[in-house]
């Protein structure tokens, strides 16, 4: 059962382009730097963090393409999948002591998996820099609702939100009273999906997880600004400026379950030092993200990152992120980049937030 769940959720996240995407961005460079990209991302990936970054390029930079970025995040710190598997074995064996023990073990457990992919084409120029981008991701939760007195009244619920968006970022550099400023905006089309599934705990498997779907579409936009002086940058970005709300289908097992996903605007401030061989960055979300109502999954992130470039051919990166809402464990990240001759860029990132909680991202970029 537990292997089936992991594989099915991963397949749902990565193989079905109709259910992937949020403020979740997949970029091997920035993911390795703790996700701190509001002031430090480059003009190819900047559309995912701050559209104003699309105008920040050097004379040697050319059109670039990201094809693609792919990433996965998994959190099963409570060993929920193992606990459910062992409970089902105890039920099949009529092991009363084992049933009671595992019901207690399952209280408060959660399983989370997020996955996504990104694509971008950047066309820098002095008139109006442009970045055509697409992003898709899914975040899914499974959790037990336990009656410790009777396993027949205990359920497993699984809810997921997916987003796919396609947009164009426009950015322009301005010199205003001697201050170097870049402004950007990203109009985009969005498609939202939710899935809601619940079953009694003794019957739990992954069959039917995608049968209770709701979906909707919207037009949205991101905005951003960056002030810079030499290697120093201060940036602010507002993403998903039109708040969206999507209600899941109502499903019934022992109890009835229905949730609402709130895709509210995200405002993030960032600072960075972007030197020839060293980049240091920090981001802070200024607004808490609600996400699923009825689930304690609100987040407000603080992120830090660093990159060290070795002769333009090899990049070593590290990062740290913490949730100021205390719903996500502190995460450390690390990664490496290869850019032979500055033509091909391969970026790989890994993250770790404790036992059974890890993630990874990889991307390939050409021509920038």
> Which pLDDT score, from 0 to 100, does residue 20 have?
32
Length of the chain: 368
Please check the confidence at residue 299 and state whether its pLDDT lies above 60. Answer: yes
* Dihedral sign computed on CA atoms, order 327, 329, 332, 336: negative
> Which pLDDT score, from 0 to 100, does residue 24 have?
67
Please check the confidence at residue 13 and state whether its pLDDT lies above 60. Answer: no
> Which pLDDT score, from 0 to 100, does residue 156 have?
92
> Which pLDDT score, from 0 to 100, does residue 8 have?
38
**What CATH number should be reported for the domain holding residue 101?**
2.40.160
> Which pLDDT score, from 0 to 100, does residue 215 have?
94
How many domains are contained in the chain? 1
Q: Other CB atoms closer than 10 Å to residue 211's CB: what's the count?
A: 11
pLDDT average, residue stretch 154-169: 94
Host domain of residue 239: 2-366
Query: What separation in angstroms does the CA of 35 have from each of 62, 74, 90, 161, 306?
Result: 24, 16, 42, 21, 10
Q: Is 125 helix (H, G, I), strand (E, B) or coil?
A: coil
- Summarised one tens digit per residue, pLDDT across range 101-154 is 999 999 989 898 899 999 999 999 989 999 999 999 998 889 999 998 888 999
Please check the confidence at residue 40 and state whether its pLDDT lies above 50. Answer: yes
Q: Tell me which DSSP letter residue 248 carries.
A: P
Task: Single out the residue of 368, 319, 339 nearest to residue 37, CA to CA.
Answer: 319
The alpha carbon torsion through 76, 78, 79, 83 (nearest 10 deg) reads -140
pLDDT average, residue stretch 169-194: 96
pLDDT average, residue stretch 251-255: 93
Please check the confidence at residue 315 and state whether its pLDDT lies above 50. Answer: yes
Provide the token pair at 230: 């030499």
* Dihedral sign computed on CA atoms, order 198, 203, 205, 208: negative
Query: Cα separation of 141 and 102, whole Å?
Result: 20
> Which pLDDT score, from 0 to 100, does residue 17 have?
32
pLDDT average, residue stretch 13-23: 35
Percent of the chain having pLDDT more than 70? 92
Query: Cα separation of 145 and 153, whole Å?
Result: 9
Q: Tell me which DSSP letter residue 14 carries.
A: H
Asked if 53 and 46 touch (Cβ cutoff 8 Å), the reply is: yes
Q: Is 113 exposed, middle or buried (0-12, 13-18, 19+ CB in 10 A)?
A: buried
Task: Single out the residue of 33, 25, 28 nearest to residue 279, CA to CA.
Answer: 33
Q: What is the pTM of this model?
A: 0.89
Query: Cα separation of 129 and 231, whole Å?
Result: 20
Asked if 312 and 296 touch (Cβ cutoff 8 Å), the reply is: no
Q: How confident is the model at residue 326 (pLDDT cuts 50, 70, 90)?
A: confident
Q: How confident is the model at residue 211 (pLDDT cuts 50, 70, 90)?
A: confident
> Which pLDDT score, from 0 to 100, does residue 2 have?
40
Task: Single out the residue of 58, 51, 79, 17 nearest to residue 276, CA to CA.
Answer: 58
β-bridge partners, 279: 274, 307
Query: What separation in angstroms does the CA of 56 have from each of 148, 158, 228?
Result: 58, 42, 10
Q: How confident is the model at residue 22 (pLDDT cuts 50, 70, 90)?
A: very low
Q: Which helix (H) or strand (E) holds 87?
A: helix 80-92
Provide the token pair at 114: 């997020």
Average per-residue pLDDT in the chain? 89
> Which pLDDT score, from 0 to 100, does residue 127 have?
93
* Dihedral sign computed on CA atoms, order 23, 26, 32, 37: negative
Please check the confidence at residue 41 and state whether its pLDDT lies above 50. Answer: yes
Measured CA angle at 64 (ends 60, 66), to 5 deg = 145
Query: Cα separation of 330 and 321, whole Å?
Result: 6
> Which pLDDT score, from 0 to 100, does residue 282 have?
98
> Which pLDDT score, from 0 to 100, does residue 208 have?
64
């Amino acid at each position: 059962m537990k292997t089936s769940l992991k594989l099915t959720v991963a397949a749902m996240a990565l193989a079905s382009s109709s259910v992937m995407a949020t403020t979740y961005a997949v970029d091997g460079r920035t993911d390795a730097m703790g996700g701190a990209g509001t002031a430090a991302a480059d003009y190819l990936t900047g559309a995912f963090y701050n559209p104003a970054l699309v105008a920040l390029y050097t004379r040697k930079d050319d059109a670039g393409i990201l094809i693609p970025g792919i990433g996965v995040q998994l959190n099963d710190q409570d060993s929920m999948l193992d606990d459910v598997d062992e409970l089902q074995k105890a039920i099949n064996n009529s092991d009363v002591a084992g049933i009671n023990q595992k019901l207690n073990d399952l209280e408060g457990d959660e399983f989370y998996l997020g996955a996504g992919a990104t694509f971008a084409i950047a066309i820098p120029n002095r008139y109006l820099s442009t970045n055509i981008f697409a992003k898709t991701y899914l975040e899914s939760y499974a959790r037990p609702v336990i009656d410790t007195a009777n396993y027949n009244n205990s359920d497993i619920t699984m809810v997921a939100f997916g987003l796919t968006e396609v947009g164009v970022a426009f950015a322009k550099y301005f010199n205003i009273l001697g201050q170097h400023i870049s402004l950007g905006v990203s109009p985009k089309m969005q498609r939202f999906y939710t899935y809601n599934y619940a079953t009694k705990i003794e019957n739990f498997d992954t069959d039917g997880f995608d049968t209770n779907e709701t979906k909707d579409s919207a037009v949205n936009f991101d905005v951003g600004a960056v002030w810079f002086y030499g290697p120093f940058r201060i940036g602010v970005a507002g993403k998903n400026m039109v708040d969206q709300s999507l209600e899941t289908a109502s499903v019934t097992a022992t109890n009835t379950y229905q949730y609402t996903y709130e895709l509210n605007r995200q405002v993030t401030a960032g600072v960075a030092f972007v030197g020839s061989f060293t980049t240091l960055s920090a981001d802070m979300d200024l607004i808490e993200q609600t996400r699923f109502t009825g689930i304690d999954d609100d987040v407000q992130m603080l992120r830090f990152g660093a990159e060290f470039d070795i002769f333009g051919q090899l990049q070593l990166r590290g990062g740290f992120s913490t949730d100021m809402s205390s719903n996500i464990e502190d995460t450390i990240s690390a990664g490496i980049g290869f850019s032979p001759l500055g033509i091909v860029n391969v970026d790989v990132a890994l993250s770790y937030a404790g036992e059974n909680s890890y993630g990874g991202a990889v991307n390939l970029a050409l021509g920038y």
